[in-house]
Amino acid sequence: MTGKICIIIGTRPEIIKMSPVVRVCEQRGLDWFMIHTGQHYSYNMDRAFFEQLKLPDARYNLDVGSGSGGHGEQTGRMLAGIEEVLIKEEPGAVLVEGDTNTVLAGALAASKLGIKVGHVEAGLRSYDRRMPEEINRVVADHISDYLFAPTVRSRDILLGEGVSDEKVFVTGNTVVDAVYQNRGIANDGGETLESICGAGLDLEPNRYLLATAHRQENVDDAVRFAGILKGLELISDEFSLPVIYPTHPRSRKMMEEFSLDAVGVTFIEPLDYLSFLKLEADARLVLTDSGGVQEETCILNVPCVTLRDNTERPETAMVGANVLVGVDPGKILEGARVMLDRARDWENPFGDGRAGERIVSITIG
């Protein structure tokens, strides 16, 4: 028996993907607690997010913030804060999820204190070391004691890197659990497409396209960002369908800085998770540079076009749910043509929606 479990999160995608694990801990009455590092937002800003997903509060809030000190300063502050809590609480295991600086700090702090580390969503690789996320996931994998691989492919990658077979468990991806559970919460909320996006748009299910672009390598590069927006413009023109783009503050700032725009694209304010999930589920096609959205569309049987040169979710493309196109406008248009013609009959490669149960059972022993 592992004893007390510590769940460490710091970004909203981590909250979403750890929500099934939290719910299992609650349902089983386990001894557990949560640390929120505040990597992107303060806990106070995320409180409504917790309430929306009907999750219990984090016990510790580090409020590190995104700041301007760079990856080293942010990771260092989280490392010190997490270590202090772990020394006080003495958990038997720490669970981290994904590829953020929170994951790196949490795994390092626990490992150096001799506490077991479980890495949820282990074994993902883009093989692009220019991405800080790739460094984080590789390091976390190689200092973890439990590697919860979402797919057999992820397991094989870990074994190929010399990770012991005894440490690797194929659990499925908690994103499946999260989509199933949280879509039910979203549907119970009674929101309509009109209430989400505004009365003037008059959106109908399966009669609009959804776009997201927020990754640093895309929106901080004027040429790449311009290519994405031109591609969206071409798609809107060819298919006479509205393109809805909930715009991250960073993306909006860079659009203004680069003087970018796109005819036929409706830019709306960022959406809360449940509203976005509904908009995503009812879309005809989604164009994105988000790894999580690639997974969610695959699970929801919504075709996806990925605006990146590589992906750590190749399973989505392997089953036919996704196509990788980069940022060239012509290739984005061609990708949309291909995916709009594709039958939505692929099999979800990420599991049966019980990953959270498996992860908790393995962790407690």
Confidence grade of residue 218 (pLDDT, cut at 50, 70, 90): very high
Residue-by-residue DSSP string for 223-283: HHHHHHHHHHHHHHHHHT--EEEEPPHHHHHHHHHHT---TTEEEE----HHHHHHHHHT-
The answer to whether residue 49 sits within a structural domain is yes
In degrees, to the nearest 5, what angle opens at C-alpha 125 toward C-alphas 142 and 281? 125
Residues 207 and 264 in one domain: yes
CATH of the domain at 265: 3.40.50.2000
pLDDT(77) > 70: yes
Residues 272 and 237 in one domain: yes
Between 269 and 319, the more confident residue is: 319
25 — alpha (psi -120 to 50), left (phi > 0) or beta? Answer: alpha
Residues 41 and 162 in one domain: yes
Residues 151 and 263 in one domain: no
Residues 225 and 315 in one domain: yes
Q: What is the predicted pLDDT for the residue at 188? A: 77
Residues 134 and 32 in one domain: yes
Q: CA 71: distance to chain centroid?
A: 19
Positive/negative CA dihedral, 331, 332, 334, 335: positive
The answer to whether residue 186 sits within a structural domain is no
Tokens 């003037």 belong to 200
Residues 311 and 195 in one domain: yes
Q: What is the predicted pLDDT for the residue at 157? A: 98
Structural domain including 55 reads 5-173+351-364
Q: What is the predicted pLDDT for the residue at 12? A: 87
Residues 247 and 276 in one domain: yes
pLDDT(1) > 60: no
Residues 166 and 261 in one domain: no
The answer to whether residue 226 sits within a structural domain is yes
Which sequence positions are flagged as catalytic? 214
Residues 198 and 162 in one domain: no
Mean pLDDT, the chain, integer: 93
Residues 125 and 207 in one domain: no
The answer to whether residue 184 sits within a structural domain is no
Q: Among 35, 13, 181, 189, which Cα is nearest to 115's? A: 35
Residues 153 and 219 in one domain: no
